[in-house]
Amino acid sequence: MSMTVGETEYRTSQHPTRRDNIVVCELDGEAVLYDERSGAVHRFNETALTVWKACDGSRSAPAIARIIAGRYALDSNRARTEVDNVIRKLTAKGLLLEASGAGDLQRDVRSEVDPPAQDPSQKPNDDEGESRSASRLPSRRELLRGGTAKLIYTAPLISTFFASGACASGPSASAAFGAGGCKTVGYSCAAPPDCCVFPGDGLCSAGSCCGFNGVACDSDADCCTPRTCDLGSCST
């Protein structure tokens, strides 16, 4: 199955599957997620979280749409459209496993590196009774037992930003803005949070983002005074 986001075509499994190495914390039916591979932080509202949880590799998109339709008493066509949109977004954000055998069309989703071993300290803490990984969806019987769905439907919402540091090791001033809108070294800034350079690795000095020792650079102007750009890296 392929989906197009903008000009880019992504290949996804017939049965969308959540990726590993994503820390998920649920709060009042919504969730905040951290993708260890990309450094992205996402927030899902209830509807998006329901779709995400359903992407366990055992259900097709139409099956997930039926769940949404039943849960929120939605028209089936609308449910299918909404679910397809969410799966498209999840795929574009690299949160779903790509289909095997997909070739050059893969963007962001494919990783050539084995996912890092999971840090035991980041494993879900089930002792608190709070599910940190996607929990079981209510069965059809449970839904029917509750009569017609009483849940209020809100359109799926996924918000994303890239946590500080994700831009810092990238190319220096070739793009003014890193992911999430921050500015790379050499570009204008009003305050330290404007700069992609992680706090402690650089700062916003005299209206321009600059780097401390070790930060990638193109010229001396990219480095915080009195450092210079030496072989592509700021140094004293």
Per CB under 8 A, 205 contacts other proteins: yes
Peptide bond into 226 cis (omega under 30): yes
Min dist CB 41 to other proteins, Å, is 5
Query: Whose Cβ is closer to other proteins: residue 15's or residue 132's?
Result: 132
- Interface pick for other proteins out of 65, 198, 216, 234 (rule CB under 8 A): 198
Beta bridge partners of 35: 22
Per CB under 8 A, 121 contacts other proteins: yes
d(CA 73, CA 53): 19
Per CB under 8 A, 226 contacts other proteins: yes
- Please give the distance of CA 28 from its chain centroid, rounded to a whole number: 20
Query: Whose Cβ is closer to other proteins: residue 48's or residue 69's?
Result: 48
- Interface pick for other proteins out of 85, 131, 212, 220 (rule CB under 8 A): 212
Query: Whose Cβ is closer to other proteins: residue 9's or residue 119's?
Result: 119
Per CB under 8 A, 225 contacts other proteins: yes
- Interface pick for other proteins out of 15, 36, 138, 220 (rule CB under 8 A): 36
Query: Whose Cβ is closer to other proteins: residue 85's or residue 205's?
Result: 205
Min dist CB 150 to other proteins, Å, is 19
- Interface pick for other proteins out of 60, 77, 122, 188 (rule CB under 8 A): 122
Per CB under 8 A, 137 contacts other proteins: no
Antiparallel, parallel or unpaired: β 208-211 and 202-205:
antiparallel
Q: Rule CB under 8 A: which residues touch other proteins?
A: 23, 25, 27-28, 30-34, 36, 41, 43-45, 119, 121-122, 125, 132, 159, 161, 163-165, 190-191, 193, 198-200, 203-207, 212-213, 225-227, 236
